[in-house]
Amino acid sequence: MTSNAAQPLSESWWENCPNQPDDETRAIDALEDSIGPLDDDTKRIRRLIRSLESCHHKAARWVELIIEAIGAGSTTKGPGKRPPGQTHKMERVWHYAIAALEAWRAGSPADSIDLDVGGVPAGELVALIGERTPLREWQVGRVVSKIREFDAYPRVHRDAIFRHVGLVEAGTEYESIIVDQCPDYYKEHAEFWKATAQTVIHDTVDEEPATISLAEAIDHLWPCHWDFLGNLKIVLGAIGGDLHPERPYAACARNIKRAPIRGGMCVIADTLRAFCGDEPGADGIDEAILGTLGKKTPVKHWLAASFEKTLRLHLDL
Protein backbone atom coordinates (compact mmCIF):
# COMPACT_ATOMS: atom_id res chain seq x y z
CA MET A 1 0.00 0.00 0.00
CA THR A 2 1.21 3.50 -0.77
CA SER A 3 2.19 5.89 1.98
CA ASN A 4 0.11 8.69 0.42
CA ALA A 5 -1.63 10.35 3.36
CA ALA A 6 -4.62 11.26 1.18
CA GLN A 7 -5.45 7.59 0.66
CA PRO A 8 -7.48 5.90 3.41
CA LEU A 9 -5.54 3.27 5.33
CA SER A 10 -8.16 0.67 4.34
CA GLU A 11 -7.50 1.26 0.61
CA SER A 12 -5.39 -1.55 -0.77
CA TRP A 13 -4.87 -1.17 -4.50
CA TRP A 14 -3.35 -4.64 -4.88
CA GLU A 15 -5.82 -6.79 -3.00
CA ASN A 16 -6.85 -8.65 -6.20
CA CYS A 17 -3.23 -9.60 -6.95
CA PRO A 18 -1.12 -12.47 -5.58
CA ASN A 19 2.31 -12.24 -3.96
CA GLN A 20 2.27 -8.64 -2.83
CA PRO A 21 4.15 -6.42 -2.29
CA ASP A 22 7.19 -6.66 -4.55
CA ASP A 23 9.70 -4.18 -5.95
CA GLU A 24 7.53 -3.32 -8.97
CA THR A 25 4.39 -2.63 -6.95
CA ARG A 26 6.40 -0.51 -4.52
CA ALA A 27 7.77 1.49 -7.45
CA ILE A 28 4.24 2.00 -8.80
CA ASP A 29 3.08 3.08 -5.34
CA ALA A 30 5.91 5.63 -5.37
CA LEU A 31 4.44 7.05 -8.60
CA GLU A 32 1.19 7.62 -6.74
CA ASP A 33 3.05 9.41 -3.95
CA SER A 34 4.55 11.77 -6.52
CA ILE A 35 1.09 12.67 -7.89
CA GLY A 36 -0.27 13.97 -4.62
CA PRO A 37 -3.83 13.54 -3.33
CA LEU A 38 -5.98 11.59 -5.79
CA ASP A 39 -9.26 13.02 -7.02
CA ASP A 40 -12.45 10.98 -6.91
CA ASP A 41 -12.37 10.08 -10.63
CA THR A 42 -8.84 8.68 -10.34
CA LYS A 43 -9.78 6.64 -7.28
CA ARG A 44 -12.79 5.20 -9.10
CA ILE A 45 -10.60 4.12 -12.04
CA ARG A 46 -8.02 2.54 -9.73
CA ARG A 47 -10.81 0.68 -7.92
CA LEU A 48 -11.99 -0.57 -11.30
CA ILE A 49 -8.51 -2.03 -11.87
CA ARG A 50 -8.59 -3.50 -8.38
CA SER A 51 -11.91 -5.21 -9.14
CA LEU A 52 -10.57 -7.08 -12.19
CA GLU A 53 -10.63 -10.87 -11.95
CA SER A 54 -9.11 -12.43 -15.06
CA CYS A 55 -10.97 -15.73 -14.50
CA HIS A 56 -14.33 -13.92 -14.72
CA HIS A 57 -16.47 -14.62 -17.78
CA LYS A 58 -16.69 -10.85 -18.44
CA ALA A 59 -12.99 -10.13 -17.90
CA ALA A 60 -12.34 -9.10 -21.52
CA ARG A 61 -15.09 -6.47 -21.39
CA TRP A 62 -13.81 -5.29 -18.01
CA VAL A 63 -10.37 -4.73 -19.52
CA GLU A 64 -11.91 -2.61 -22.30
CA LEU A 65 -13.77 -0.50 -19.73
CA ILE A 66 -10.57 0.11 -17.77
CA ILE A 67 -8.68 1.27 -20.88
CA GLU A 68 -11.55 3.59 -21.80
CA ALA A 69 -11.68 4.94 -18.26
CA ILE A 70 -7.93 5.70 -18.16
CA GLY A 71 -8.20 7.53 -21.48
CA ALA A 72 -11.29 9.51 -20.47
CA GLY A 73 -10.09 10.26 -16.95
CA SER A 74 -13.38 9.11 -15.40
CA THR A 75 -15.76 6.17 -15.20
CA THR A 76 -19.24 5.30 -14.02
CA LYS A 77 -18.56 1.57 -14.15
CA GLY A 78 -17.88 -0.81 -11.32
CA PRO A 79 -19.27 -3.78 -9.39
CA GLY A 80 -22.94 -3.40 -8.58
CA LYS A 81 -23.60 -0.78 -11.26
CA ARG A 82 -25.98 -2.87 -13.36
CA PRO A 83 -29.45 -1.31 -13.74
CA PRO A 84 -32.14 -2.97 -11.60
CA GLY A 85 -34.03 -5.76 -13.34
CA GLN A 86 -31.35 -6.39 -15.96
CA THR A 87 -30.31 -10.03 -16.24
CA HIS A 88 -27.13 -11.32 -17.81
CA LYS A 89 -27.44 -14.44 -19.98
CA MET A 90 -25.05 -16.31 -17.67
CA GLU A 91 -27.48 -15.88 -14.79
CA ARG A 92 -30.01 -17.95 -16.73
CA VAL A 93 -27.35 -20.67 -17.08
CA TRP A 94 -26.91 -20.74 -13.30
CA HIS A 95 -30.65 -20.80 -12.66
CA TYR A 96 -31.24 -23.63 -15.15
CA ALA A 97 -28.32 -25.59 -13.73
CA ILE A 98 -29.85 -25.31 -10.27
CA ALA A 99 -33.28 -26.31 -11.58
CA ALA A 100 -31.84 -29.37 -13.34
CA LEU A 101 -29.86 -30.53 -10.32
CA GLU A 102 -32.79 -29.97 -7.97
CA ALA A 103 -35.02 -31.97 -10.32
CA TRP A 104 -32.50 -34.82 -10.21
CA ARG A 105 -32.40 -34.68 -6.41
CA ALA A 106 -36.21 -34.81 -6.37
CA GLY A 107 -36.14 -38.08 -8.32
CA SER A 108 -36.66 -37.02 -11.92
CA PRO A 109 -34.95 -39.29 -14.47
CA ALA A 110 -32.30 -37.62 -16.60
CA ASP A 111 -34.22 -37.88 -19.86
CA SER A 112 -37.23 -36.09 -18.36
CA ILE A 113 -35.38 -32.86 -17.45
CA ASP A 114 -36.03 -30.70 -20.48
CA LEU A 115 -33.82 -27.63 -19.99
CA ASP A 116 -31.01 -26.01 -21.95
CA VAL A 117 -28.09 -25.11 -19.68
CA GLY A 118 -25.91 -22.81 -21.73
CA GLY A 119 -26.22 -25.01 -24.83
CA VAL A 120 -25.88 -28.25 -22.89
CA PRO A 121 -29.03 -30.39 -22.47
CA ALA A 122 -29.80 -30.68 -18.76
CA GLY A 123 -30.35 -34.41 -19.19
CA GLU A 124 -26.78 -34.73 -20.43
CA LEU A 125 -25.49 -32.92 -17.34
CA VAL A 126 -27.36 -34.95 -14.74
CA ALA A 127 -26.58 -38.20 -16.57
CA LEU A 128 -22.95 -37.62 -15.54
CA ILE A 129 -23.95 -38.20 -11.91
CA GLY A 130 -25.00 -41.79 -12.46
CA GLU A 131 -27.30 -43.79 -10.22
CA ARG A 132 -28.88 -42.00 -7.31
CA THR A 133 -27.32 -42.77 -3.90
CA PRO A 134 -27.52 -40.91 -0.56
CA LEU A 135 -23.89 -39.80 -0.95
CA ARG A 136 -24.40 -38.47 -4.47
CA GLU A 137 -27.59 -36.68 -3.45
CA TRP A 138 -25.66 -34.99 -0.64
CA GLN A 139 -22.78 -34.04 -2.94
CA VAL A 140 -25.13 -32.61 -5.56
CA GLY A 141 -26.72 -30.61 -2.75
CA ARG A 142 -23.34 -29.06 -2.04
CA VAL A 143 -22.99 -28.17 -5.73
CA VAL A 144 -26.42 -26.51 -5.69
CA SER A 145 -25.54 -24.53 -2.56
CA LYS A 146 -22.30 -23.36 -4.18
CA ILE A 147 -24.09 -22.06 -7.26
CA ARG A 148 -26.78 -20.43 -5.14
CA GLU A 149 -24.17 -18.71 -3.00
CA PHE A 150 -23.14 -16.46 -5.86
CA ASP A 151 -24.25 -12.84 -5.45
CA ALA A 152 -26.10 -12.60 -8.76
CA TYR A 153 -28.65 -15.21 -7.72
CA PRO A 154 -31.89 -13.67 -6.34
CA ARG A 155 -31.33 -12.62 -2.76
CA VAL A 156 -34.44 -14.49 -1.61
CA HIS A 157 -32.44 -17.72 -1.96
CA ARG A 158 -29.35 -16.46 -0.15
CA ASP A 159 -30.20 -17.41 3.41
CA ALA A 160 -28.60 -19.87 5.81
CA ILE A 161 -30.47 -22.81 4.26
CA PHE A 162 -28.90 -22.39 0.84
CA ARG A 163 -25.58 -20.80 1.74
CA HIS A 164 -22.58 -22.92 0.76
CA VAL A 165 -20.22 -23.60 3.64
CA GLY A 166 -16.75 -24.55 2.46
CA LEU A 167 -15.95 -28.25 2.47
CA VAL A 168 -12.30 -27.28 2.85
CA GLU A 169 -11.03 -24.87 5.49
CA ALA A 170 -10.61 -21.32 4.23
CA GLY A 171 -7.10 -20.62 2.96
CA THR A 172 -6.42 -24.20 1.86
CA GLU A 173 -4.92 -24.21 -1.60
CA TYR A 174 -5.11 -26.99 -4.18
CA GLU A 175 -3.36 -29.54 -2.01
CA SER A 176 -4.17 -32.73 -0.16
CA ILE A 177 -6.77 -32.43 2.60
CA ILE A 178 -6.41 -33.93 6.07
CA VAL A 179 -9.48 -36.10 5.80
CA ASP A 180 -10.00 -36.68 9.51
CA GLN A 181 -10.55 -32.97 10.17
CA CYS A 182 -14.19 -32.63 9.23
CA PRO A 183 -15.47 -29.01 9.60
CA ASP A 184 -17.98 -28.64 12.44
CA TYR A 185 -20.71 -27.67 9.98
CA TYR A 186 -20.55 -31.13 8.38
CA LYS A 187 -20.20 -33.26 11.54
CA GLU A 188 -23.74 -34.59 11.06
CA HIS A 189 -22.70 -35.93 7.64
CA ALA A 190 -19.08 -36.67 8.46
CA GLU A 191 -18.95 -39.85 6.37
CA PHE A 192 -20.30 -38.03 3.31
CA TRP A 193 -17.79 -35.24 3.87
CA LYS A 194 -14.92 -37.70 4.26
CA ALA A 195 -15.87 -39.54 1.09
CA THR A 196 -15.99 -36.23 -0.79
CA ALA A 197 -12.63 -35.11 0.61
CA GLN A 198 -11.03 -38.46 -0.26
CA THR A 199 -12.32 -38.45 -3.84
CA VAL A 200 -9.42 -37.24 -5.98
CA ILE A 201 -9.73 -35.90 -9.52
CA HIS A 202 -6.67 -36.54 -11.69
CA ASP A 203 -5.97 -33.91 -14.34
CA THR A 204 -3.20 -31.44 -15.19
CA VAL A 205 -2.03 -27.98 -14.16
CA ASP A 206 -0.09 -26.16 -16.88
CA GLU A 207 0.08 -29.52 -18.72
CA GLU A 208 1.76 -31.27 -15.79
CA PRO A 209 0.00 -34.14 -13.93
CA ALA A 210 -1.96 -32.84 -10.96
CA THR A 211 -4.79 -33.69 -8.59
CA ILE A 212 -7.63 -31.84 -6.89
CA SER A 213 -10.08 -33.30 -4.42
CA LEU A 214 -13.79 -33.30 -5.20
CA ALA A 215 -14.32 -31.21 -2.05
CA GLU A 216 -11.94 -28.52 -3.33
CA ALA A 217 -13.46 -28.64 -6.81
CA ILE A 218 -16.94 -28.00 -5.40
CA ASP A 219 -15.68 -25.14 -3.23
CA HIS A 220 -14.01 -23.52 -6.25
CA LEU A 221 -16.97 -23.99 -8.59
CA TRP A 222 -17.62 -20.27 -9.09
CA PRO A 223 -20.54 -19.57 -11.46
CA CYS A 224 -18.81 -16.39 -12.68
CA HIS A 225 -15.81 -18.37 -13.97
CA TRP A 226 -15.20 -18.40 -17.73
CA ASP A 227 -15.30 -22.22 -17.75
CA PHE A 228 -18.18 -22.71 -15.31
CA LEU A 229 -19.98 -25.28 -17.46
CA GLY A 230 -16.78 -27.21 -18.13
CA ASN A 231 -15.97 -27.24 -14.42
CA LEU A 232 -19.55 -28.25 -13.56
CA LYS A 233 -19.26 -31.24 -15.91
CA ILE A 234 -15.99 -32.29 -14.25
CA VAL A 235 -17.54 -32.05 -10.76
CA LEU A 236 -20.70 -33.94 -11.71
CA GLY A 237 -18.61 -36.54 -13.53
CA ALA A 238 -16.43 -37.00 -10.44
CA ILE A 239 -19.54 -37.46 -8.31
CA GLY A 240 -20.53 -40.17 -10.79
CA GLY A 241 -17.10 -41.82 -10.57
CA ASP A 242 -15.19 -40.33 -13.54
CA LEU A 243 -11.98 -39.13 -11.89
CA HIS A 244 -9.93 -38.68 -15.09
CA PRO A 245 -11.68 -35.87 -17.04
CA GLU A 246 -10.71 -35.11 -20.61
CA ARG A 247 -10.06 -31.43 -19.80
CA PRO A 248 -8.33 -29.97 -16.72
CA TYR A 249 -10.23 -28.20 -13.97
CA ALA A 250 -9.65 -24.44 -14.24
CA ALA A 251 -10.55 -22.28 -11.27
CA CYS A 252 -9.27 -18.92 -10.02
CA ALA A 253 -5.48 -19.17 -10.34
CA ARG A 254 -5.55 -22.88 -11.18
CA ASN A 255 -4.84 -23.34 -14.89
CA ILE A 256 -5.09 -19.59 -15.43
CA LYS A 257 -2.94 -20.01 -18.55
CA ARG A 258 -5.96 -21.66 -20.18
CA ALA A 259 -8.05 -18.48 -19.83
CA PRO A 260 -9.32 -17.52 -23.30
CA ILE A 261 -8.36 -13.88 -22.81
CA ARG A 262 -4.71 -14.58 -22.02
CA GLY A 263 -3.33 -14.14 -25.54
CA GLY A 264 -5.03 -10.79 -26.03
CA MET A 265 -3.95 -9.65 -22.59
CA CYS A 266 -0.29 -10.17 -23.54
CA VAL A 267 -0.64 -7.55 -26.26
CA ILE A 268 -2.55 -5.18 -23.97
CA ALA A 269 0.08 -5.52 -21.23
CA ASP A 270 2.86 -4.79 -23.73
CA THR A 271 0.93 -1.78 -25.05
CA LEU A 272 0.50 -0.42 -21.53
CA ARG A 273 4.21 -0.93 -20.91
CA ALA A 274 5.01 1.02 -24.09
CA PHE A 275 2.60 3.79 -23.03
CA CYS A 276 4.49 4.10 -19.75
CA GLY A 277 7.74 4.51 -21.67
CA ASP A 278 9.12 1.02 -21.18
CA GLU A 279 10.23 -1.34 -23.91
CA PRO A 280 7.30 -3.43 -25.22
CA GLY A 281 7.61 -7.20 -25.29
CA ALA A 282 7.63 -9.59 -28.21
CA ASP A 283 3.88 -9.35 -28.73
CA GLY A 284 4.15 -5.73 -29.85
CA ILE A 285 1.65 -2.93 -29.24
CA ASP A 286 -1.90 -2.05 -30.22
CA GLU A 287 -2.06 1.42 -31.74
CA ALA A 288 -5.81 1.62 -31.19
CA ILE A 289 -5.32 1.21 -27.45
CA LEU A 290 -2.67 3.94 -27.45
CA GLY A 291 -5.18 6.17 -29.23
CA THR A 292 -7.81 5.45 -26.57
CA LEU A 293 -5.36 6.19 -23.77
CA GLY A 294 -4.47 9.56 -25.28
CA LYS A 295 -1.68 11.81 -24.08
CA LYS A 296 0.32 10.52 -21.15
CA THR A 297 -0.03 12.39 -17.87
CA PRO A 298 1.35 11.50 -14.43
CA VAL A 299 -2.05 10.16 -13.39
CA LYS A 300 -2.48 8.09 -16.57
CA HIS A 301 1.08 6.81 -16.19
CA TRP A 302 0.32 5.57 -12.67
CA LEU A 303 -2.99 4.00 -13.69
CA ALA A 304 -1.53 2.32 -16.78
CA ALA A 305 1.43 0.98 -14.80
CA SER A 306 -0.94 -0.34 -12.14
CA PHE A 307 -3.10 -1.99 -14.78
CA GLU A 308 -0.15 -3.54 -16.63
CA LYS A 309 1.26 -5.02 -13.43
CA THR A 310 -2.18 -6.35 -12.44
CA LEU A 311 -2.59 -8.10 -15.80
CA ARG A 312 0.81 -9.72 -15.61
CA LEU A 313 0.25 -10.95 -12.06
CA HIS A 314 -3.20 -12.30 -12.90
CA LEU A 315 -2.23 -14.15 -16.04
CA ASP A 316 1.26 -15.22 -15.01
CA LEU A 317 2.78 -13.37 -17.95
Reply yes or no on whether the pLDDT at 95 is more than 80: yes
pLDDT at site 8: 41
Q: Could you tell me which residues are beta bridge partners of residue 80?
A: none
Tell me what the mean pLDDT of segment 165-186 comes to.
Answer: 67
Mean of per-residue pLDDT scores for the chain = 85
49, 66 Cβ separation under 8 angstroms: yes
pLDDT at site 285: 86
pLDDT at site 156: 45
**pLDDT tens digit sequence for 232-287:** 999 999 999 999 999 999 988 899 889 888 888 989 999 999 999 877 655 578 99
3-state SS, one letter per residue, for the chain: CCCCCCCCCCCCCCCCCCCCCCHHHHHHHHHHHHHCCCCHHHHHHHHHHHCCCCCECCHHHHHHHHHHHHHHCCCCCCCCCCCCCCCCHHHHHHHHHHHHHHHHHCCCCHHHCCCEECCEEHHHHHHCCCCCCHHHHHHHHHHHHHHHHCCCCCHHHCCCCCCCCCCCCCCCCCCCCCCCCCCHHHHHHHHHHHHHHHCEEEEEECCEEEEEEHHHHHHCCCCCECCHHHHHHHHHHHHCCCCCCCCCCCECCECHHHCCCHHHHHHHHHHHHHHCCCCCCCCCCCHHHHHHHCCCCHHHHHHHHHHHHHHHHHHCC
Q: What is the pTM of this model?
A: 0.83
Amino acid at 57: H
pLDDT at site 142: 95
Between 164 and 93, the higher pLDDT residue: 93
Tell me what the mean pLDDT of segment 35-54 comes to.
Answer: 92
pLDDT band at 161 (very low <50, low <70, confident <90, very high): very low
Domain residue spans in the chain?
23-81+261-308, 89-256
Tell me what the mean pLDDT of segment 70-93 comes to.
Answer: 74
Reply yes or no on whether the pLDDT at 202 is more than 90: yes
**pLDDT tens digit sequence for 99-137:** 999 999 999 988 888 899 999 999 999 999 999 999 999
CB atoms inside a 10 Å sphere around CB 292:
16
pLDDT at site 159: 46
